[in-house]
Amino acid sequence: MPPTRPVDPPRRPVYLNLPAIRMPIPSIVSILHRVSGALLFLLGIPWALAALDASLASPAAFASYAAVAGHPVAKLIAIGLVWAYVHHLLAGVRHLALDLHAGLELAAARRTSAAVFVLAILITLAVAVRIW
Amino acid sequence: MVTRTQRHVVGAHYGLRDWIAQRITAVVMILYTLVALFALAWQGGFDHAGWKALWAHGAFRLATFLFAIALLWHAWVGVRNITMDYIKPVGVRLVVQGAVICALVFYTGWTIQVLWGVRA
Ligand code: HEM
């Protein structure tokens, strides 16, 4: 049991009208970092393991995996997961830099977050072209 | 200076330990990603033969296992943070967190099977 507080914290108004909250690019990149992390856990890990398993097992297992993975829907999911990994990794590098107090000024923070956002999409597009 | 007199003292700095663990595991995963990309390019291309040749190296499988352990730990800290933010009823949160741990342990076992071929 945690010790009870002597005074209740003040009740503050909660204002969560999402469309009305201004979303500068650093906050978008930050939210996408969380979204991509959740996606990687929910879909990315099982997908990566299944793909690795099939690609290293017998040629028959690989063929049956390739048939499933060749479906356009599967390709779209794979491309989505590639984006999740690349965005999460780049945003993670930026996060680590911020933890070391590098790039904390507003102008720099905006620039690096825009770079993360754009670079992740460009790399994903390059991979998507290859997959497709 | 602001002194907070109503500080809620809990735990034993688990938060800080998790925070550091998440950063160390992040660095491990960044390094592994770079090594894997270079190794694959070095190995002679991104085709199936190059792929197979890469995984034939015991050192690469070991590095992958290290990555998997870092990932397991990192994902646990990260997903637990997310559950703490969005799932308020303690019972529900504990059940979800238990399911997450089970999934991660299952994935780690699966990783070992894939890497060292302990297939039935
Ligand atoms: C590839 C290299 C990776 C790097 C560099 C990285 C980096 C980071 C960093 C620095 C954080 C802390 C963010 C914070 O404190 O707000 C974080 C959070 C997180 N990571 Fe990763 N990560 C990587 C891979 C992964 C993978 C593969 C997963 C899949 C499960 C994952 C899942 C998460 C989750 C769920 C969070 C919590 C997000 C949040 O609290 O908003 N990460 N990551």
A59 touches chain B (CB under 8 A): no
A13-41, pLDDT tens digit by residue? 777 777 777 889 999 999 999 999 999 99
pLDDT band with cut points at 50, 70 and 90 for residue B106: very high
pLDDT of A3 strictly over 80? no
A34-82, pLDDT tens digit by residue? 999 999 999 999 999 999 998 887 778 778 888 888 999 999 999 999 9
Identify the residue among B86, B110, B112 best suited for mutation to test binding to A, counting A beta carbons within 10 A and taking the highest: B110
Percent of chain A at pLDDT exceeding 70? 93
pLDDT at A123: 97
Gyration radius (Cα) of chain B, Å = 19
Top CATH class, A25-131: mainly alpha
Query: Which numeric CATH code is attached to B16-116?
Result: 1.20.1300.10
Q: Which residue did the predictor score with more confidence, B12 or A106?
A: A106
Q: Is the CB of B71 under 6 A from ligand 1?
A: yes
Q: How large is the ipTM?
A: 0.85
What whole-number distance in Å separates Cα of residue A51 and Cα of residue A65?
Answer: 7
pLDDT of B98 strictly over 70? yes
pLDDT at A108: 94
pLDDT at B5: 57
Domain ranges of chain B: 16-116
DSSP codes joined into one string, chain B: ----SS----TTSHHHHHHHHHHHHHHHHHHHHHHHHHHHHHTT-SSHHHHHHHHH-HHHHHHHHHHHHHHHHHHHHHHHHHHHHH--SHHHHHHHHHHHHHHHHHHHHHHHHHHHT---
Among B17, B22, B28, say which to mutate for ligand 1: greatest number of ligand atoms within 8 Å of CB: B22
Q: What is the mean pLDDT of chain A?
A: 90
pLDDT at B7: 58
pLDDT of A1 strictly over 60? no
Mean pLDDT of B89-97: 96
pLDDT band with cut points at 50, 70 and 90 for residue B76: very high
pLDDT of A109 strictly over 80? yes
pLDDT at B9: 55
Residue at A131: amino acid letter: I
- Total-model pTM: 0.87
CA atoms within 13 A on the CB side of A66: 10
Among A27, A33, A119, say which to mutate for ligand 1: greatest number of ligand atoms within 8 Å of CB: A33
Chain B residue at shortest CA distance from A96: B23
